[in-house]
Amino acid sequence: PTTSIRSLLAGDVPLGSTVTIEGWIRTRRDSKAGLSFLQVNDGSGFDPIQVVAEASLPNYQEQVAHLTTGCAVAVEGKLVPSQGKGQSVEVKAHRVEVVGRVDDPDTYPVSAKRHTFEYLRTVAHLRPRTNTFGAVARVRHALSMAVHSYFHDHGFFWIHTPIITASDAEGAGAMFRVSTLDLANPPRLEGGGIDSSADFFGRPSYLTVSGQLNVEAYCLALSKVYTFGPTFRAENSNTTRHLAEFWMIEPEIAFADLDDDADLAEDFLKSILRTLLDERGDDMAFFADRIDKDCVRRVESFVESSFERMDYGDAIKTLEAAIDRGKRFEFPVSWGADLQSEHERYLTEEHVGRPVVVMNYPKEIKAFYMRLNDDGRTVAAMDVLAPGIGEIIGGSQREERLDVLDARLDESSLDRDAYSWYRDLRRYGTVPHAGFGLGFERTIQYVTGMANIRDVIPFPRTPGNADF
């Protein structure tokens, strides 16, 4: 049986045991005494283990002495205390089997030297073998599991909402259309080009922008639910915080209002980040060392802090006061305007110094499903802003009154018939309910300090990029 390198380094296996490991060579260094030190990593954790391969191995001259970065090996040997610096144990090899060679080491795309992230995006299929992308993958996993554990432990049910849908959940019109294109025999336009507008079996359908509308249906039956899956936005935005395909976590709670929603967001976020610190200390230490020296401290203080809750109106007043004191923003500030990320960052970083929940936005800048407040001009919306990144959560109490919802659909020029099933939920046993969406990649950026959202998802989808 194979042992994971992480468990060997963690001291789970007694010294002197015979162990087998399998992984990829990070580096090979030869000593003058005629032996090789192989750094082998299997992705189970951040650190490689050192394998000492002596020249007396039968395949030493022919194979071991030629191993290069990226070669796959299986090693059997004895776990012994290490003389070297930086590691407590190493494997003294009895057998080194070369499982997969690197054909031409000079062209191996991810050599042991440091590469830029821009370059690594062009070899997205091999970048998981680098320190950074291995660490990102493990952090993604740990956070995903923490999300499911949190909800499971709090009595929520995970609902698998559809990817293909006819409903525009945000009413914002930024959807990818799904077509039933037969690639072997594509419909042709007059000029001879491919007609890609064919509908999903005769009906216009799209990739979902959010699972919210569907998860609301389950909320109004199972009370506490969530969905966690990929969502799609056909915005042509080339920023470091937008993807065309990203993952979203969307809980929805019944018999609940906006304050309950904000309470859930705070407890949930702190809980999953605490789990991350507990489980992935090695990877987080790497991010602090190489990517963003403040990241561990930032997450620790996030977990300890209490979120500041602030009305949108007060946020505008705060920003206006800052402008009066000489602060400059690129975008104008006035009641009714959406907060830009520079404003969000001012509020959370300079004004409060903690996470901020901005509540009760003007209805004109928010989606049709948000509950209209008694003032008639704001809705029960909330955005959670995190220092260093801005909006990570968007949520709201939902409009549960059919007449008010209908008026909002009309105002937003949305077709009531297209939302008939959603309107039904307001006709049959409607209750106050609320939920939110957490952008998973923005969360990973926040905790790791990775600057570009393209580098926290395995295969980023951005305008013009779907090759891998």
Q: Does 355 bind ligand 4AD (CB under 6 A)?
A: no
Q: Which stretch binds ligand 4AD (CB under 6 A): 90-98, 110-118, 123-131, 391-399?
A: 391-399
Interface size with Mg ion, residues (CB under 5 A): 1
Q: Does 129 bind ligand 4AD (CB under 6 A)?
A: no
Token pair listed for 48? 């490689």
Interface size with ligand 4AD, residues (CB under 6 A): 22
Q: Which stretch binds ligand 4AD (CB under 6 A): 191-199, 319-327, 406-414, 438-446?
A: 438-446
Sign of torsion over alpha carbons 129, 133, 134, 137: negative
Output 34 or 336, the one with its CB closest to Mg ion.
336
Using CB positions, name the residue nearest to Mg ion: 394
Residue 213 Cβ vs ligand 4AD, minimum distance, rounded to whole Å: 8
Q: Which of residues 204-223 bind ligand 4AD (CB under 6 A)?
A: 210, 212
Q: Does 224 bind ligand 4AD (CB under 6 A)?
A: no
Residue 233 binds: one of Mg ion, ligand 4AD, none (C-beta under 5 to 8 A by kind):
ligand 4AD
Q: Are 48 and 39 in contact (CB under 8 A)?
A: yes
Residue 60 Cβ vs ligand 4AD, minimum distance, rounded to whole Å: 50
Q: Does 399 bind ligand 4AD (CB under 6 A)?
A: no
- Measured CA to CA, the distance from residue 351 to residue 374 in angstroms comes to 29
Residue 306 Cβ vs ligand 4AD, minimum distance, rounded to whole Å: 20
Q: Does 391 bind ligand 4AD (CB under 6 A)?
A: yes
- Measured CA to CA, the distance from residue 353 to residue 349 in angstroms comes to 5
Q: Are 432 and 257 in contact (CB under 8 A)?
A: yes
- Measured CA to CA, the distance from residue 352 to residue 267 in angstroms comes to 19
Least Cα distance to 440 among 237, 268, 307, 258 occurs for 268
- Measured CA to CA, the distance from residue 71 to residue 78 in angstroms comes to 21
414 CB neighbour count, 10 Å cutoff? 16
The 8 Å CB, 24+ separation contacts for 115-118 are 117/452, 117/454, 117/455
Q: Are 371 and 386 in contact (CB under 8 A)?
A: no
Q: What is the DSSP letter of 395?
A: E
Q: Does 394 bind Mg ion (CB under 5 A)?
A: yes
Q: Does 387 bind ligand 4AD (CB under 6 A)?
A: no
Q: Which stretch binds ligand 4AD (CB under 6 A): 25-33, 71-79, 245-253, 303-311?
A: 245-253
Residues that bind Mg ion (CB under 5 A): 394
